Structure 1
Amino acid sequence: MGRRRTFDEDEVVRAAVGLFGGRAYDGVSVDDLVTHLGVHRNSLYKTFGSKRGLYLIALRRHVVDDVQPLVDALAAVPDAAAVLGLVTSADLGLLLLAAVERAPADEEVAEVVSAALAAVDQAIADALGIPTELAAALTAAALGIRLRGNPDGVGDALTRRLDPLD
């Protein structure tokens, strides 16, 4: 008979979201996971199968805990300025890292990222009454602003240009 689990799986997954979201998949070793999550190596493998297994669970949790609330909030946005404000301030670190680091090389990660971004696009399209292609462009612009850290007020300038959408 094996030992009883001495850790809370939910807490470990949430902590893994933070770790992967701060350092990316390739920036986190199994030793880092063991040290930062407080889980023994054997328990990690027994519970999650692998580092990739834990990463996929953490990515899906990030979508549920962080991206879905953004999608829900976007359903009530009155204009493009509100879209930019919500998307640029949302906790999307792990999703963005997954999009650039893992999605090109991992089909399962690509599916999760694609579905999450499509949900954001659709929420924007529905709220603003615009085509999804235009909503996707707005999502891309907001994410770009976020990645650039809004240098020189580019978000404000873009918002002024998008006002005719109202």
Structure 2
Amino acid sequence: MGRRRAFDEDEVVCAAVGLFGGRAYDGVSVDDLVTHLGVHRNSLYKTFGSKRGLYLVALRRHVADDVRPLADALATATDAAAALRLVTSADLGLLLLAAVERAPADEEVADEVVAALASVDQAIADALGISTALAAAITAAALGIRLRGDPDGVGAALTQRLDPLD
């Protein structure tokens, strides 16, 4: 009989979401994972197979815990400005990093990113009664604002312009 795991896999995955979401895949070494997650190297490999294996589990957790709730919240959006505010305020760090860093080089990551963004686009389209193409443009604008790191500057001005007149 093997030794019992000395770590909580759920806690490790949640911590990995934060680590990869803050520093990206290439910015996190296996030594960083061992140190920050409190998991022995052998346990990490035995449980997740590799750094990439842990990354994929973390990305899927991020989608489940952060992107799906965003899509659910978007169902309450009454206009483009509300949708823009929701997307720019959501914690999408790991998804954004995955989209620009790993998706171009990793088909499995690309599939996760595409599906996650499609769910956001579809939620906006359904809530606002618009085409998915227009919803994708709203998502792209919101993510662009996030990437600029200025959600209160450009994002506030754009949201103000999109707010319906009373």
**Global fold match (TM > 0.5):** yes
The 5-angstrom pairing of residues 76-155 of structure 1 reads 76-150=76-150, 153-155=153-155
* Matched residue SS, 2:162: helix
Contact 2:74 2:83 in 1 (8 A): yes
Distance 1:91 1:132 in 2: 22
Moved over 3 A (4+): 160-164
TM-superposed deviation, 1:150 = 2.5
Q: CA deviation at 1:149?
A: 2.3
Q: Hey, what does 1:3 align to over in structure 2?
A: 3
Q: Which moved more, 1:36-45 or 1:141-150?
A: 141-150
TM-fit CA distance, 1:151: 6.7
Percent of residue pairs bearing the same amino acid type: 87
Which is worse superposed, 110-119 or 78-87? Answer: 78-87
How many residues end up aligned between the 2 structures? 166
Q: Distance in 1 between matches of 2:153 and 2:34?
A: 41
Residues 38 and 117 of structure 1, relative CA distance in 2, 3 Å threshold:
same
Match of 2:23 in 1: 23
Q: Deviations over 1:35-66 (max 9, x none)?
A: 00000000000000000000000000000001
Structure 2 distance, partners of 1:145, 1:14, is: 26
Paired with 1:9 and 1:151, the residues of 2 have a C-alpha distance of 34
Deviation at 1:160, TM superposition (A): 4.0
SS at match of 2:121: helix
In structure 2, the gaps of 5 or more residues are none
TM-score by length of 2: 0.95
What is residue 61 of structure 1 aligned with on the other side? Answer: 61
Displacement of 1:155 in angstroms is 1.7
Residues 20-45 of structure 1: CA deviation (Å, up to 9, x unaligned): 00000000000000000000000000
Shift of 1:6: 0.6
